[in-house]
Structure 1
């Protein structure tokens, strides 16, 4: 077989004992990179220049000559399996149509999980041999629902001869349903139930985009994504997962980025307790047979997050993989996405993130991501928020299926400062899910200080965006929050909670960018204006406003979490004294005749952060 070329996959080259030394000599940073598992599927030509050392033109030419001179090892080309079409002959004519009995409750809360369970046939492979749907119809509306509204919802096989169909009823009223299936015994089952107004505390429905750049729950309540990241927490030992939930209960976080699949990366070398697919003795996975216990466990954790008021921002694919889950083949990928969405769409606190760092998942093309988005659109009647996350270049966030921009930092220092420009460019909410993590590991993305993370939070907030948290402090157990969860030990969570409290005091509960000074960003709302000084250490700030409006003035120490009200009110041009230290902010609140401000403080009072 002819030698290697720039189009040869890195994995094939490294597996050849004659070719590997050439790569090791030319690109040692590549071979020793923690990304090596993810980069095995990349063409070698795309990886030239990886790391700090840049190859000269002569070195590159010599590498290609030496690789081409080798006799490349022959590897069998991958055979792409065809999609599996459910069989209309799964049950013969001797099986009576609608002969199974559907089990379901007589009532359910609006936006809660209504579940139909059907004991059914289990011969062959029901995961792929049987297709099942139900058409739900709002027979009698009670409130804002429209009578006659219909939703066709896909079901799934849950193992043990059990089939499930779920719905989060979008309207209060009387609902009826009828099933259709390729299995005769499951076809034509009928039933009805009542959807009532939510009674459980915290059931505000799914989160939607509102006011172009912000969010509300379906019931209209304002939602602010105060995000953190624990990628692989549900794939850890049970006691560690419980500690993660206990920690989250003590924080202000309202969104958690998390992977469906386990993760293989720095400080992530353990095997998950359960795999998502059945595993053969040779270590391969049968992607036609999901393991229901894996997905039931995920559902339980999502439910527990909902009880804490936390949205589960679910990552469907990622590149940090040694099991092959990042590339199941087109048919396998589609089957997995469809199965996952059918299982989880009725959980009100789910968001879909097609990928973490989509551009590192080398096995996927734009066509693949667009196809996954189409499947989600087909299978999710709830219409959950959907996005995709970048490493290097942005995805096209103008795509209609993308509800909000999920962004990783674009510069070592500056990212949050771009929030206003991104709002204008994409016309969607800006969620900076990764701005770097508070921690002390040897990776530049994971060793910024708590002060710097909080600064980035504030820089994004005053510009009308939402910045995410993460923590990567090294410990002997290698239980870093950013991936495994556990306990938080950093300084930023309390300061983030303080910022969240201040945002809640804005007239509509959110900050938008306001006309700013050349050196200081202003945000908030007219009559409720904040200036953030970040690195600056001014001893005072001269404020210039049109005469006619008097302001109460607060000096905010964003790190020490205090709000100090200056005595009296101010109008026109006035000077605000400051302590000459970093991370300070000023808040101007248009004074009202009936009270000092919307925060309920009186002149001279000092509010300490909790």
Structure 2
């Protein structure tokens, strides 16, 4: 009797769908009968074969998914223990049918049906895409603007490695979500840093994630690699990380390679190199919260060539059935190969950051400009990598300079960007320097309220500050550094707008405070005596309810 109950229980577990984070897991019998899922939910359909496969990672299998006369060819991936997985998500509502083609007899010809119903999650809007009618901004698949506010955390993969519960990962991602961040710039894998580490880390080894030998995407370890096969357990853990990000609607800006973090990579274009790269594309393309980046600082350090990076882009596009956006963390490459990337990635530490961003925006009018690394690395309890700027307000200002040039930016905190990760900074003792996440929460609130996707920098109206003008919604923004004593608005207002119903309001970039919204008084914007927070904080003057006179 007990054996029958046990058998029944095992049968139920085997043939029921299992909720795993944001991945819904199905067996092949369920798929054959027909499964139902919502838009942008990730589904794993699991196929287990009995035959022995000598080179499973090199065994090809594809699902031809048919819908409305269109066929999507999605690669399956090997998941260890004779399992192959068809990972699937969809932005399109309706019924899809699929058939698998493979050299494996037990996979070849397998069929199934997937019914996709309307999304019910309020803050879920699909993958990040581009729009031809507004090409310098990012959007979601449902048409909503995607205000790309990124946070660098290269070692996110390592926080809870080897643990069933991702307590640290969830805590950090929750902090990012609460403060308006919707993207993490991250590596699939990094090993360690080459520069000197802060001696204080010897007392706080719990915050050090570099140099671990138990984490590696291939077999063996970073110091003793075995490139003959991949480490499935590494990628199963990485699935959970990406799933948690998907749950919180945080995009993974996934840098597949990194050259300066002491990683033992296989030779370029070798069988092992291709195996790794292809596997990443196969395994993670179904996640709507994926943006590809071939490599961090792709052409630095003398390892990769431009031909190699071009081949990697082409390779990803051929394998990725979902057409996720792709770029390269190298402005030189993007500048010289603009037709190969979906958006322009910049890394610029110069004092002329604003002008450099403006120049890129002018040079590439059909692509978004994303400054991934502007040299501002806010200080933390440890000196990890100081870069060019560590003062929190100076780092914040550089982010605003990117935005007022019509581009997007990334926030770096030294306590989380590289090998040091303090996942719970606000639970540390008072002596620890805390990150200023709240600055970016304020930023996100402001730019959501003024429809950043309709804003255009008009530098000839900058005066001594920075101008953003939203003609469509009748809004003018003037960013005013706290040292400024005067920022003129008369030209942009008089030449372009009827101001009879306009209002004025100030925003404090440090505290997030808004002054009361009062009737516009143009005369007050000469040399002002009553500017709020004068000398205390950078502020933004917001003029609303403007009526355009004519096209700018």
TM-score normalized with structure 1 length: 0.72
Alignment partner of 1:226 is 2:167: no
Aligned to 2:188: 260
Aligned to 1:556: 507
Aligned to 1:144: none
Aligned to 1:469: 411
Trace 1:95-106 onto structure 2 (pairs within 5 A): 104=31, 106=35
Aligned to 2:443: 499
> How far apart, in 2, do the equivalents of 1:242 and 1:566 lie?
38
> How far apart, in 2, do the equivalents of 1:217 and 1:172 lie?
16
Query: By how many angstroms is 1:566 displaced?
Result: 6.0
Of residues 203-212 and 350-359 in structure 1, the stretch that sits farther from structure 2 once superposed is 203-212
Query: By how many angstroms is 1:233 displaced?
Result: 1.8
Change in 2 beyond 3 A, CA 1:418/1:130: same
Alignment match of 2:539 (pick from 573, 576, 584): 584
Query: By how many angstroms is 1:564 displaced?
Result: 1.5
Alignment match of 2:61 (pick from 123, 132, 141): 132
Query: By how many angstroms is 1:388 displaced?
Result: 0.7
Aligned length: 477
Contact 2:487 2:525 in 1 (8 A): no
SS state at 2:340 partner? coil
Change in 2 beyond 3 A, CA 1:420/1:289: same
Aligned to 2:126: 205
Query: By how many angstroms is 1:416 displaced?
Result: 3.7
Aligned to 1:185: 106
Task: From the CA coordinates, give the structure whose radius of gyration is larger.
Answer: 1
> How far apart, in 2, do the equivalents of 1:376 and 1:540 lie?
47
Q: Which runs of 5+ in 2 are unaligned?
A: 1-26, 162-166, 198-208, 426-432, 548-552
Contact 1:417 1:460 in 2 (8 A): no
Change in 2 beyond 3 A, CA 1:549/1:283: closer
Aligned to 1:120: 49
Per-residue CA shift, 1:415-450, capped at 9, x if unaligned?
244222111112211111111211162744165211
Contact 1:132 1:180 in 2 (8 A): yes
Query: By how many angstroms is 1:378 displaced?
Result: 1.1
Alignment partner of 1:409 is 2:364: no
Alignment partner of 1:308 is 2:248: yes
Query: By how many angstroms is 1:375 displaced?
Result: 1.5
> How far apart, in 2, do the equivalents of 1:309 and 1:554 lie?
31
Alignment match of 1:377 (pick from 317, 327, 330): 317
Trace 1:437-448 onto structure 2 (pairs within 5 A): 437-439=377-379, 441=383, 443-445=385-387, 447-448=389-390
Alignment match of 1:418 (pick from 356, 359, 362): 356
Aligned to 2:232: 292
Alignment match of 2:278 (pick from 338, 355, 358): 338
Of residues 392-401 and 451-460 in structure 1, the stretch that sits farther from structure 2 once superposed is 392-401
Q: Which runs of 5+ in 1 are unaligned?
A: 1-99, 139-146, 474-478, 593-610
SS state at 1:371 partner? helix
Per-residue CA shift, 1:108-155, capped at 9, x if unaligned?
2222223321111463434344211111101xxxxxxxx211111111
Per-residue CA shift, 1:171-200, capped at 9, x if unaligned?
211111111111122111122121111123
Alignment match of 2:424 (pick from 476, 487, 490): 487
Query: By how many angstroms is 1:584 displaced?
Result: 2.1
Alignment partner of 1:455 is 2:397: yes
Change in 2 beyond 3 A, CA 1:292/1:540: closer
Query: By how many angstroms is 1:382 displaced?
Result: 1.3
The RMSD of aligned alpha carbons is 2.8
Alignment match of 2:457 (pick from 513, 520, 524): 513
